[in-house]
Amino acid sequence: MAGIISPSPTALSFTSNVGTRRLKAVTWAGKCISGNGIRRRNLRIAAEVRFVNAEEAKELIAVEGYSVVDVRDKTQFERAHIKSCHHIPLFIQNEDNDLGTIIKRTVHNNFSGLFFGLPFTKLNPEFVKSVRNEFSQDSKLLVVCQEGLRSAAAASRLEEAGYENIACVTSGLQSVKPGTFESVGSTELQNAGKAGLITIQGKISAVLGTVLVCAYLFITLFPDQAEKLFPPS
């Protein structure tokens, strides 16, 4: 006998006092009729990642009890970070010594490393495991990085791992005004991504550096989308 099931799941959305949250149905609802009888399927609603600005993020921490997870690399974290946050980097220092990695590291250190102070890194294979060691799946987590790309990628991985209360700061800590959060470090949060020669070459180099850094991170984190935007000739 042919099966009968309900329509495909749909996404719902609503706006709260803090940011916008979307809901998605991750399991079909209804029943399926087959030769073996009726099998019921339950509907489970899961919240997708919430994207907020700095002021909304501050409210999430103070009012809703969100914990801050900083996924930046060690160098940016040490320059400045939100007080009492948890540092769990999405990328870690790449110290592999195979020939391909050595060549890539040399090229990187003479470009991104020299001009923008970016360390040569690779995806942290223990990222989700490290988060699980510190937080249960029902924890409320505010994921932050410098530009907003790494936090979005990290939030996506955590969502896939079963975390349902995830928020990110749109555009990252570079968009945070001084004094918004109590911070620790030698500089302001919005300046923690500035290093290398761009710090002494003026505003034009700083803007160019930010654009190139964001482009580099976008291509690294979202290669499929990057290929669609910039198809090979």
Q: What is the mean pLDDT of each run of 10 residues along the chain (233 residues)?
A: 42 47 47 50 61 96 97 93 97 74 64 57 91 97 95 96 95 93 94 65 59 73 76 66
List, by residue number, the catalytic residues: 145
Residue 67: per-residue pLDDT: 98
Residue 209: per-residue pLDDT: 63
The residues near 48 (Cβ < 8 Å, ≥ 6 apart) are 11, 21, 22, 23, 24, 159
- All domains of the chain, ordered by start, with CATH? 50-195 (3.40.250.10)
Q: In the numeric block, which tokens belong to residue 184?
A: 């620790």
Give the integer Cα–Cα distance in Å for 169 and 58. 10
Half-sphere exposure of 136 (CA within 13 A, CB side): 2
Residue 199: per-residue pLDDT: 53
Helix (DSSP H) and strand (DSSP E) numbers for the chain: 8, 14
pTM of the model: 0.64
Residue 25: per-residue pLDDT: 44
SS3 221: helix
Residue 3: per-residue pLDDT: 43
